[in-house]
Structure 1
Amino acid sequence: MSAVIDQAPTVSEPLRTGRRPAAAVLALARFEARELLRQPTVLVVFLLYAGYTYWQLLFPENGMDRYPVLHYADRATQPGTLALALVVLLAANITAQRSRRQGTDQHFDILVMEPWRRTLAHALSVVPLAALTALIVAVEFAWTALKPGAVGHGSVAELAVGPLVTLAAGIVGVLAARVIPSVLGGAVVVALGGIASLAASLFTGPDPEHSQWLDWLNPVVSENGLDPIPSALLGRPAGWHVLYLAGLTALLLCVTLLLSGGRTRLVKAGTAVALAATVGGVAGQSPSHDAALTAARTKASHAPVTAQSCVTHHRSTYCSFPEWTAWRDDWAQVVDRVQGLTGGGARGARLTIRQRIPVVYNLTDDSAIMPLRTPGEITAGTRWGGTRVPEFAVGVASVLVAGDEEAASKMCDARVVTVMWLALAAQDDPMTALRDVRIDNSVTGSAGALSITDPVLMSTEQTRIVRDLLKRPRYSVTARMKTHWAELTSPKTSLTQVAELLGVPAGKAAAEEKGAAGEEGSC
């Protein structure tokens, strides 16, 4: 008895069947995705990240978070995803080496599925984790955008960075499993990435013009430091950066498949397209010193009126860049409350509140807004809420007392008491506002009080008088303020006289007037 075998399977040539290979790849990818999600580290880190994000949304640390600028909030979703990406890289690397660790590699040689298809399945198993990252990012941004004080417009390209980084990290983990057959392969890749980043920073040095093009090769480029500016002036190549990340992710996948034996026409064509997309993204995101952008930034800083619209509330005019029109009512409430405490001509003065930005050279270096010489014109910033409310009130009170911002910045006399009481008494919690607005967060001693432009310098005795006034009923101080407005706003009135006019014991005022010129914190 004999049997004839036409063709026997060999370990070098996997069996092929009529079933579609794609179905088998997807089935294996689903299995590997479940294995990834079951890893304790992955599960814990994703839950911690989601919980931390949810906590920040419910309980913002900064009052300014209640008035988010959306073309900055979209970028804020990116840094946190780096921790997720790191965990996904290591987890994908460990999962892709399961068969090697368990000694079952040789058994796969007799299976129908080729090695490169198994590699593809491992790479596809990361997609659910990237989708989960996208869901967290979407919820975070949507929650922020739905806040009543939100202004501006988010960018889909900026929001796509986090999920793409997670996906790319997982593919890097699978690639490392093929190149470095060791459980330490993922850790080696992370270490090499850190060394490369450090070497790049040492090579380029601190000059931003030389380092910016290398910065954009990083997965996440935050560029924080400068207060928000109009979205049209950002100059961030977000679209090109997403193209670069998408192309690089696809290129890493194709290289992984090629190394695993997947030298099909489709994989080779995908490699060429991915390489072209990566190169195109790198070229597009490289800084080009756009003269038009520089000119637009300069114009918005020096002549904001050309890009703004204005509206009148009561006696005053409020001008802002188009994306900040929703904040005008909030500015008006502060102006009305401060102006309602004044006397004389200040009570009916017509003011112009104009939103301004500093001179913008790059988005990482903060710079000051210079005070205006225009009488009755007050600067409003591009952040609101928290400490920015009393800071704006200080600017309003300074102009009502001194006439213009430049004169207020040079104010070193007893008028500081009038300015600070007007600004702080208009707040819901004056003593907390006093602490928040001072540079050293104190309510005693000498310190500078912040405003949108230059700070107001408070001496120790001026601080004591203001603190005493804030503890008294507001109506009683308001009556004195209105009655003695001319004296309280005169640079010739001494601190002793101001204290007497407001009904505060002079205390050390007379001694301060004689010898406080050299005191720290006074002019």
Structure 2
Amino acid sequence: MTTMPPAPEVTGRPSAGDRPWAAVLALARFEARELLLNIPVLVLLVLYLGYSLYGLVTAEQDGMTDYPVLQNADRASQTAPQLVALAVLLCVNHAVLRSRRHGTDRQFDVLPVQPWRRTLAHALSAVPFAGLVAVVVGAEFAWAASKPGAVGHGSFFELAVAPLSVLLAGVVGALLARLIHSAFAAPLFVVGLYVLLAVFSIPSSGSDPHWLHWLSPVVPESGGDPLPSDLLGRPAAWHALYLVGLTVALLCGAVAASGQRTRTVAVATAVALTATVAGIAGQSPGDARDLAAARATASIRPEEVQSCSVRGTVTYCAFPEWSGRTADWAGVVERVQQLAGGRRDRLTVRQRLEARYGLTSDAALTPLTGPGQVTVGTAWGGNRVPEFAVGVASVLVAGDEEAASAVCDARAVTIMWLALAAQPDPVSAFVHVRLDDRTEGSGFVLAPTDPLGMSAGETAMVRALLDRPGEAVAAAVRDHWAELTSPKTSLTRVAQLLDVKAPEKEDSRDACEA
């Protein structure tokens, strides 16, 4: 009778072999595929890609982004990818908890891949999604930069925020799963984080808490007109360092929570925390005095930092990054001048902005008092073109912007016809420059500075003029320029001069009294 030797006793965890990191990468690839098959990730990823594609298509239609400002285009890429980050956080957390839900934790204990390596693999499964976001962000920015009307300078660090936030979300999902073994932890964390960020974004004592504001993964700061890149004052590089350090520190925390508490992990944690603290310190101070002074100069005395060029009788002054856009402004000015009988008044088109209140301020510009001075903003394309035409026509008719802002008489008819007839689609432009988006009744017309008031009768006369041949109206404007630009000329007389039906009553004051 033969006896079998006793089976050797298992005294330790099976070896992962000579290539333990290959197993981690293989598991990360598998988990990435599993993430892609999760409904939240798939739906929000498709939604993000569709939104990006839709933005490119509609931009070509409305013309608002035919002239992008690149220091705004890089920040605009940060918000939409948070949909992907949200889905990655929830689904990575769900994947890490899979073994606990299915009761297979004990079976995993006999596998050669240790728990901390599995945690690392789950965190790395977010890398392909961060890479996809980086590709989309880069493509959007490259598309904007390739347009002939693009101005300004983008920032690599601003573009890096979106993919870094997706990586951070994957690490947070893995860490939460290792600390709290509940499927409700991640959704509650997301809700709590949203409430926390909403509270920090509320102004306190007239200003945002700057250092808390920048602890958010994404700080888009949008709403105001574009500023020159040297006036942004955004600590983009420090913020990117903060995100990298925070991601690595939380990853080390997830690895340590999985049982890997070695000296290497401790050193990596210390380095990551140092980088995080350095990033927080670098991004925490508010606007420096030099930046505030530069913003004040650009807002109050822009001529000190602008370069000017002369085209005919018109001088165009712009901030350095916008110097290539003067040809577009000149095209509008020349068309309005031609409709005004080929007038060659000496004009100064000056680019202006209000930078003293930061990037989110949408403060109105006050009218210029100098004769022949016309304001143009830093945004261009779409509705900004007919609005600028209104400003040019107002100065040609009234003499200066301050006088034009007080126009409340029949001169509004001449101003509006000059501005609208210079547009490719005058009726559509009329709709877009009106504050109420209507071409009937009284209302206000947008301009680079103060809006222009129009009465119901003036509105009807402008519509009638747009239906007439432009050459005939231009000839009448040229022949009767003195009367048409006089504040004493009645609305009825203007109708006679331009050969359109006069309103039943003189109502040129009702827009001013609205």
**Superposition TM-score tier, normalisation by shorter sequence:** over 0.9
Q: Contact conserved, 1:130 with 1:164, CA < 8 A, in 2?
A: yes
Letter in 2 for 1:29: A
Q: Which residue of 1 aligns with 2:100?
A: 100
Instruction: Show structure 1 runs of 5+ residues with no match.
Output: none
State the distance in 1 between where 2:247 and 2:327 align.
Answer: 46
Q: Report whether the alignment pairs 1:489 with 2:481.
A: no
Q: Report whether the alignment pairs 1:71 with 2:71.
A: yes
Q: Contact conserved, 2:408 with 2:511, CA < 8 A, in 1?
A: no
Q: 2:400 aligns with which of 394, 404, 407?
A: 404
Q: Which residue of 2 aligns with 1:305?
A: 303
Q: Which residue of 2 aligns with 1:422?
A: 418
Q: Contact conserved, 2:395 with 2:404, CA < 8 A, in 1?
A: yes
State the distance in 2 between where 1:193 and 1:407 align.
Answer: 51
Q: Contact conserved, 2:454 with 2:511, CA < 8 A, in 1?
A: no
Q: Which residue of 2 aligns with 1:382?
A: 378
Q: Which residue of 2 aligns with 1:336?
A: 334
1:8-39 Cα shifts (integer Å, max 9, x gaps)? 323xx423365132222222222222222222
1:130-165 Cα shifts (integer Å, max 9, x gaps)? 111111111111112212222111111111111011
Q: Which residue of 1 aligns with 2:10?
A: 9
Matches within 5 A, 1:469-488: 469-488=465-484
State the distance in 2 between where 1:273 and 1:259 align.
Answer: 18
Q: Contact conserved, 2:390 with 2:415, CA < 8 A, in 1?
A: yes
Matches within 5 A, 1:16-415: 16=15, 19-60=18-59, 62-200=62-200, 205-343=203-341, 347-415=343-411
Q: Contact conserved, 2:386 with 2:419, CA < 8 A, in 1?
A: yes
Identity %: 55
Q: Secondary structure at the match of 1:134?
A: helix
1:98-121 Cα shifts (integer Å, max 9, x gaps)? 222222210121222221111111
Structure-2 change in CA distance of 1:195 and 1:385 (3 Å): closer
Q: Contact conserved, 1:57 with 1:144, CA < 8 A, in 2?
A: no
State the distance in 2 between where 1:195 and 1:84 align.
Answer: 19
Letter in 2 for 1:252: L
Q: Secondary structure at the match of 2:303?
A: helix
Q: 1:444 aligns with which of 397, 415, 440?
A: 440
State the distance in 2 between where 1:336 and 1:194 align.
Answer: 51
Q: Contact conserved, 1:447 with 1:521, CA < 8 A, in 2?
A: no
Q: Contact conserved, 2:72 with 2:226, CA < 8 A, in 1?
A: yes
Q: Which residue of 2 aligns with 1:506?
A: 502
> How far does residue 490 in structure 1 lie from its aligned partner after superposition?
1.4
> How far does residue 200 in structure 1 lie from its aligned partner after superposition?
4.1
State the distance in 1 between where 2:15 and 2:119 align.
Answer: 18
TM-score norm. by structure 1 comes to: 0.93
> How far does residue 271 in structure 1 lie from its aligned partner after superposition?
0.4
State the distance in 1 between where 2:26 and 2:34 align.
Answer: 13
Q: Secondary structure at the match of 1:401?
A: helix
> How far does residue 182 in structure 1 lie from its aligned partner after superposition?
2.2
State the distance in 1 between where 2:148 and 2:328 align.
Answer: 12
Once the two structures are overlaid, the 10-residue window that deviates more, 493-502 or 272-281, is: 493-502
> How far does residue 365 in structure 1 lie from its aligned partner after superposition?
2.1
Letter in 1 for 2:10: P
Instruction: Show structure 2 runs of 5+ residues with no match.
Output: none
Q: How many residues align?
A: 511
State the distance in 2 between where 1:491 and 1:521 align.
Answer: 14
